Structure 1
């Protein structure tokens, strides 16, 4: 398991190779404080990457960054190539934030929330497939994500999607979802709730 500082230092090295001058900051003086990489781009904008928005696996590196002009960007470095994708947002001024960035099987799974929707993205070979829904209730167990929308709520059923294929599965009952650890709840709760269980 790679440490947080090792992850941050790998990103800093990559940014330095691209002629940027990144620094690692903390959001408070405590040892457990969140770490953020910041740098100024060629447009004079401050860019930032939060420590949880970095994914590394077998020599592949990805991160989610934000800045004024680039808006919200996923950058991927693998197999001596790079790829950038700007997150789809209804209102870039409102912003979006990363819920999960993780290498899963041979895909980069990127889940984020913007003003109205949650997007579940599976990225492979410079191609982005995504599924989005209007809501914020979500849960993950292995390769299955449970979600509920703002409209059409039915407390008796739970909607499912399988990653990395982004295949919509047949809904299950709330009782089945509870047995499988797939009751979707709101995003305003502590912990890394979308990691592998």
Structure 2
């Protein structure tokens, strides 16, 4: 409720109607209605960010800090967006806002720092986070695992699945409602 309260207080200064049902924050600007899932909010040292969906089904990342408000429309495959969008991670890491979201067939991994954003996506449903490395298994590339360095979202050289197996790294299926704070998140040994 603490993060939801921060967002609600901020929205009440700018919006006509703000409602909270324990799971979603809904607000109305007069022209548009928006929904925010409470698990899709991140806060750090005066910076607040969240994913929201509008009544036209546009997904947007909104970032507030003491000086600026910015937003970024989430990249999606339009045919996959209707009810198949789920945020698995949104967190501040230093100056970066990092996020992972999933639509029907793709997982997007990205970060924003200042006015610069980076992201990559893969077609798959298996992922593992160990420290600053994200491992991703694509549907059609059974033996190859994509890797990304967080929070800069630098795509690293892919590795063979058997190399991960030697290190006892097991990717996990990510589904709707899973949260990367818990799923496949381990500290580097």
Contact 1:143-1:162 within 8 A present in 2 as well: yes
Does residue 100 of structure 2 align to residue 104 of structure 1?
no
Specify which of 114, 123, 130 is matched with residue 103 of structure 2: 114
Q: CA 1:181–1:42 in structure 2 vs 1: closer, same or farther (change >3 Å)? A: farther
Query: Structure 1 pair 81/163, CA: closer, same or farther in 2 (3 Å)?
Result: same
Q: How many residues align?
A: 182
Aligned to 1:193: 183
Quote how far apart the aligned CAs of 1:10 are. 0.4
Shift of 1:139: 1.1
Q: Which has the higher contact order (CA 8 A, sep 6+)?
A: 2
* Residue of structure 1 equivalent to 2:18: 22
Shift of 1:181: 6.7
Q: Deviations over 1:86-116 (max 9, x none)?
A: 1011123354211111111210011111232
Rounded Cα–Cα distance in structure 2 between residues aligned with 1:6 and 1:179: 42
Q: 1:184 to 1:24 in 2, by over 3 A?
A: same
C-alpha contact (below 8 Å) 1:106/1:124 kept by paired residues: yes
TM-score by length of structure 2 reads 0.84
Which residue does 1:161 correspond to in 2? 148
Distance 1:15 1:122, change over 3 A: same
Residue 55 of structure 2 corresponds to which residue in structure 1?
68
1:1-197 aligned within 5 A: 5-26=1-22, 35-45=23-33, 47-69=34-56, 71-91=58-78, 92-154=81-143, 157-174=144-161, 176-177=163-164, 182-188=169-175, 192-193=182-183, 195=185, 197=187
User: 5+ residue gaps in structure 1?
Assistant: 27-34
Q: Which runs of 5+ in 2 are unaligned?
A: none
Aligned-pair CA distance for 1:196: 5.6
Q: 1:153 to 1:175 in 2, by over 3 A?
A: closer
The DSSP-based 3-state class of the residue aligned with 1:10 is helix
What is the TM-score of this pair, normalised by structure 1? 0.81
